[in-house]
Chains A and B, each alone.
Chain A
Amino acid sequence: MSDQRLKTRPDSVLEDPGALAVAGLYARSYLTAAQQNSIQQPQDEMNSFVDEVLVGYPEFAELLTSDVISREDKLGIVERIIVPRSSEFFANFVRVLIRHGRFGLISLIRRVMVKIQEEAAGKRRVGVRTARSLSDESKRLLSDELKIKLGFEPILQESVDESLIGGLIIQVGDTVYDSSLRSRLKQLSGRLVEKALNEIQIGRDRFSHPERD
């Protein structure tokens, strides 16, 4: 068998919104359960499991997500390998995931969990797109300004897009505030075209309504 994994579907650019919704459900349940059982820092164990175990041993991750192996066998593997090395709470979570056939979502669940915790702490992610990378000073200024305007602690996620020419685009959730030079130029060109069309129409009207001249 070759080392390369057989690719059965093209890579998705975006997450499946359905999967995201399911992952959100598990993440919230995990955090609530942790709170009720007064477990401190429940994300630590999850982080170390995903980053060290699953990323370090991709074959192991594949074993647990593969459809070839039955759920009973997977549970057996969990009992032998994970349970002796983890807390009872986290082991239970892994058992639930395996039993529901949702183990493949674990890294997504981790990501959603981070987001939920951030929101609980009054922080939200704000996407900032600029034509050139921002200096630390301007980042700080932007961050302070956004905090005043939006009423929460922004976590800036910067990206550089040279096609903007100048200015910046800020995205909070689904809402986009676009004040880039690119879109302003687009507005201006639209305005000029409209103006030119009006001039043409006035020229035409002069022929059809000559009494106006």
Chain B
Amino acid sequence: MKFKSDEIASVIQKEIEDFRGQMQTAEVGRVIEVGDGIARCTGLSTAMSGEMVEFSNGTRGLAFNLEENSVGVVILGDYLRIQEGDEVKSTGQLLSVPVGEALLGRVVDPLGNPMDGKGPVLTSERRPLETAAPGVAGRQPVKEPLQTGIKAIDAMTPIGRGQRELIIGDRKTGKTAIAIDTILNQKGTGVICVYVACGQRAASVAGVVEILRENGALDYTIVVASSSSDPAPVQYIAPYAGAAMAEYFMYQGKHTLVVYDDLSKQAIAYRQLSLLMRRPPGREAFPGDVFYCHSRLLERAAKLSAELGGGSMTALPIIETLEGEVSAYIPTNVISITDGQIYLEPDLFWKGIRPAINVGISVSRVGGNAQTKAMKKIAGSLRLDLAAFRELEAFAQLGTELDKATQSQLDRGYRMVELLKQRQFGPLHVADQVITIYAGTKGYFDKVPVKNVQAAEKELHEFIRTEHADMRDKLVEQAALTDEIEGALKKALEAFVARQASKV
């Protein structure tokens, strides 16, 4: 079908004829001083805290400080084009972002403007950036698992839907990788993901988007990107924007996952704003309300009650520590807000243990509630095994002669550590994880040389998939290690061990 030219012209003509411009009434002020992403304005006598204002060139701002004679406004956009004396209009609205299905698969800035060149975001719905978290009655306990696809996490620090699990570690320890793996693993589960890049290098954000696209994860993911070259106010609002976009789906009864990468950069952006606004500095020069800044954000993660649709929002905030300093201000704050943390260590990372999770001090306060029955059954012994192993490992390094029982426990430990290693972007289904960990803890890998354990694990998965698919299907379906399945699994593993032995 072709458009006729008069058809288009007539549509526009009619539009113009029918147009009745309304007189616009607004409360205005003027900019007294501007710089570093903030402006001080006179007038705006009716402005409310957190209200959106508009500068004469169309840039938006947020009324941040209400003072006796002036209003401090943070500028969400290019502040270099705003001058002293410019008019600033109050809008009577809170800052909001577009939300809805149209955002899925898109890369947007924290104000919801598309950045991926795929045309406008076509949605009529908007949500205020800051909304109150659901109350006590609106929630229910976290009990559904959110599978990350990472063995070490799903087995020992399980994450539930609606939980807030902190990923903390030094730079270059694989924090983002864990978050990305978790997003990749949500494929086909109906969980909608939001990745908020806050103060990241634009190149690494582009890299993340590319990985998501390659793995087909972008279709259910929204990327909210604010790079480190964006003004501080934009970086500050990015996590709230991501939360608002996820909340929309949560209140529709859907499950969502939000990754805040990372909150230490957001705290730094907020510190910059606060200091420029002349709010008094506190510890490490952060303002007094930096705790509230994070707590109100993370409280929005919830598992809603059945009356509200039972949707959930799981939050994975990321914090970057300096030289392993977890007792700094922001890390301690966020640790105390979240329901557990996954602690990544550079030493482990360089030893080749990747993901470099320190399972000893990583915890999940939701614990076993958020695990499938099968995983719960086998993970308990894994933790104990590893704890015993770590105690013994110190002895082994001294070169002391060890009795047979101790030696075998050590050998088991080495193999378990190998089994918990996992390559990046290779999330495993929970059934495969159960098979691996079961085989490891029951000693089916004991005969395999330590350096071959990972290859053997791969072979095992292939073996089970090809020759014992019915048992695996049952395990996937029931998600519990019933006697029947356990028996079948044992048989399969014995057959596997026999085959491995015959190969040598």
Within 8 A of A (CB), among B25-71: 25-32, 42-46, 68-70
Q: What residues of B have a CB within 8 angstroms of the CB of A174 in the complex? A: 27-29, 43-46
A180-195 vs B: 1/0 string, CB under 8 Å? 0001100110011001
Could you say which of B13-21, B257-265, B484-492 contacts chain A? B13-21
Given A21-B68, A191-B15, A192-B12, does the pair A178, B23 have CB atoms closer than 8 Å? yes
Q: Which residue of B lies closest to A183 (CB)?
A: B24
A176 contacts the other chain (CB 8 A): yes
Q: What residues of B have a CB within 8 angstroms of the CB of A197 in the complex? A: 120, 122
Whether A176 and B21, one on each chain, are in contact in the complex, defined by CB atoms closer than 8 angstroms, is: no
Within 8 A of B (CB), among A172-213: 173-179, 183-184, 187-188, 191-192, 195, 197, 200-201, 204
Whether A179 and B23, one on each chain, are in contact in the complex, defined by CB atoms closer than 8 angstroms, is: yes
Shortest CB-to-CB span from A40 to chain B, Å, is 33
- In the complex the two chains form, what is the Cα distance from A14 to B25 in whole Å? 23
Q: What residues of B have a CB within 8 angstroms of the CB of A175 in the complex? A: 25-28
A84 contacts the other chain (CB 8 A): no
B84 contacts the other chain (CB 8 A): yes
A18 contacts the other chain (CB 8 A): yes
Shortest CB-to-CB span from A101 to chain B, Å, is 19
B151 contacts the other chain (CB 8 A): no
Within 8 A of B (CB), among A133-179: 171, 173-179
Whether A14 and B84, one on each chain, are in contact in the complex, defined by CB atoms closer than 8 angstroms, is: yes
Q: Which residue of A lies closest to B84 (CB)?
A: A13
B89 contacts the other chain (CB 8 A): yes
B141 contacts the other chain (CB 8 A): no
Shortest CB-to-CB span from B19 to chain A, Å, is 5
- In the complex the two chains form, what is the Cα distance from A171 to B27 in whole Å? 9
Whether B70 and A17, one on each chain, are in contact in the complex, defined by CB atoms closer than 8 angstroms, is: yes
A54 contacts the other chain (CB 8 A): no
Whether A191 and B19, one on each chain, are in contact in the complex, defined by CB atoms closer than 8 angstroms, is: yes
Q: What residues of A have a CB within 8 angstroms of the CB of B19 in the complex? A: 187-188, 191
Shortest CB-to-CB span from B85 to chain A, Å, is 4
Within 8 A of B (CB), among A1-46: 12-14, 16-18, 20-21
- In the complex the two chains form, what is the Cα distance from A62 to B89 in whole Å? 38
- In the complex the two chains form, what is the Cα distance from A191 to B24 in whole Å? 15
Whether A192 and B23, one on each chain, are in contact in the complex, defined by CB atoms closer than 8 angstroms, is: no
- In the complex the two chains form, what is the Cα distance from A200 to B102 in whole Å? 13
- In the complex the two chains form, what is the Cα distance from A13 to B82 in whole Å? 13
Shortest CB-to-CB span from B146 to chain A, Å, is 29
Residue among A171, A178, A191 facing the most chain B CB atoms (10 A cut-off): A178
Number of chain A residues whose Cβ lies closer than 8 Å to a Cβ of chain B: 27
Q: What residues of B have a CB within 8 angstroms of the CB of A195 in the complex? A: 15
- In the complex the two chains form, what is the Cα distance from A56 to B90 in whole Å? 42
Name A14's contact: one of B12, B30, B120 (CB within 8 Å).
B30
Shortest CB-to-CB span from A166 to chain B, Å, is 11
- In the complex the two chains form, what is the Cα distance from A178 to B89 in whole Å? 12
Q: What residues of B have a CB within 8 angstroms of the CB of A183 in the complex? A: 21, 24
- In the complex the two chains form, what is the Cα distance from A79 to B205 in whole Å? 71
Given A188-B19, A200-B122, A201-B122, does the pair A176, B42 have CB atoms closer than 8 Å? no
- In the complex the two chains form, what is the Cα distance from A195 to B18 in whole Å? 13
A111-135 vs B: 1/0 string, CB under 8 Å? 0000000000000000000000000
- In the complex the two chains form, what is the Cα distance from A21 to B12 in whole Å? 51
Name B69's contact: one of A18, A178, A187 (CB within 8 Å).
A18
- In the complex the two chains form, what is the Cα distance from A176 to B89 in whole Å? 9
Q: What residues of B have a CB within 8 angstroms of the CB of A21 in the complex? A: 68-69
Name B42's contact: one of A14, A188, A204 (CB within 8 Å).
A14
Name A171's contact: one of B12, B28, B69 (CB within 8 Å).
B28
- In the complex the two chains form, what is the Cα distance from A188 to B17 in whole Å? 11
Q: Which residue of B lies closest to A199 (CB)?
A: B11
Q: What residues of B have a CB within 8 angstroms of the CB of A178 in the complex? A: 23-26
- In the complex the two chains form, what is the Cα distance from A152 to B28 in whole Å? 21
Residue among A14, A177, A183, A204 facing the most chain B CB atoms (10 A cut-off): A14
Q: What residues of A have a CB within 8 angstroms of the CB of B29 in the complex? A: 174
- In the complex the two chains form, what is the Cα distance from A36 to B15 in whole Å? 64
Q: Which residue of A lies closest to B40 (CB)?
A: A17
Given A174-B28, A174-B43, A183-B24, does the pair A20, B69 have CB atoms closer than 8 Å? yes
Q: What residues of A have a CB within 8 angstroms of the CB of B44 in the complex? A: 174
B67-86 vs A: 1/0 string, CB under 8 Å? 01110000000000001110
Given A14-B42, A188-B16, does the pair A176, B70 have CB atoms closer than 8 Å? no
Q: What residues of A have a CB within 8 angstroms of the CB of B27 in the complex? A: 174-176
Shortest CB-to-CB span from B300 to chain A, Å, is 29
Q: What residues of A have a CB within 8 angstroms of the CB of B24 in the complex? A: 176-179, 183, 187
Known contacts A175-B25, A176-B25, A176-B26; 11 further A-B pairs (Cβ under 8 A)? A20-B69, A21-B68, A173-B45, A174-B45, A174-B46, A178-B25, A178-B26, A184-B21, A188-B21, A192-B15, A200-B122
Pick 23 A–B contacts, CB within 8 A, sort by A. A14-B42, A14-B84, A14-B85, A17-B32, A17-B70, A20-B69, A21-B68, A21-B69, A175-B25, A175-B26, A176-B24, A178-B26, A179-B24, A183-B24, A184-B21, A187-B21, A187-B22, A188-B21, A192-B15, A195-B15, A197-B120, A197-B122, A200-B120
B residues engaging A (CB < 8 A)? Answer: 12, 15-16, 19, 21-32, 42-46, 68-70, 83-85, 89, 119-120, 122
A-B interface, 7 closest residue pairs, ranked by CB to CB distance from nearest: A184-B21, A17-B69, A13-B85, A179-B23, A178-B24, A174-B43, A201-B122
